[in-house]
Structure 1
Amino acid sequence: MRTILIAATLLAGLSAAQADGTCASNAADKKLAGAAKTSFLGKCQRDAAATCDSAAAGKNLAGAAKTSFTKKCVKDAVGG
């Protein structure tokens, strides 16, 4: 039962993170290159991490479940 709950939580975070596209696809859409792209991707990753941490806290995740959720959420949001 716990595994199903964790899987459902991860899928919910995944769909929320991909609603606006990934950081990489947004950078490509804006045709960013060089320092501008690096700066944009860094800010996007920081924003994704903050959003994913908030989502994990809202779902009352702790320990390994929180770490796993946050890591996957950020990876999906960044596009890597």
Structure 2
Amino acid sequence: MKKMIIALSIALSFTIPSLAFADQAACEAKAVSKEGKPLYGAAKDASIKKCLGAAPADKGCEAKAISKDGKPLYGAAKAASIKKCEGA
């Protein structure tokens, strides 16, 4: 049983990074200008970052803590918003 768990964890450690590279490749393919030409340099990096998701997974609820006006929340309001998001 122990060997099976170790084997599965090793197998998963190889598949997860390959999934991330597949997403990166897909985002690189989408990095094109309005005219359909491929982007280069900082514009390409920004496009890929936006495609992959600007907010990391652990900051997802923190990024959603905004007021009705679209401004970021602070203090107790931010804490309550994050707690509600994580609990949902």
TM-score interval, smaller chain: 0.3 to 0.5
Larger Rg: 2
After TM superposition, the score normalised by the length of structure 1 is 0.42
The structure with the greater share of residues assigned to helix is 1
After TM superposition, the score normalised by the length of structure 2 is 0.39
User: Larger relative contact order (C-alpha < 8 A, sep ≥ 6)?
Assistant: 1
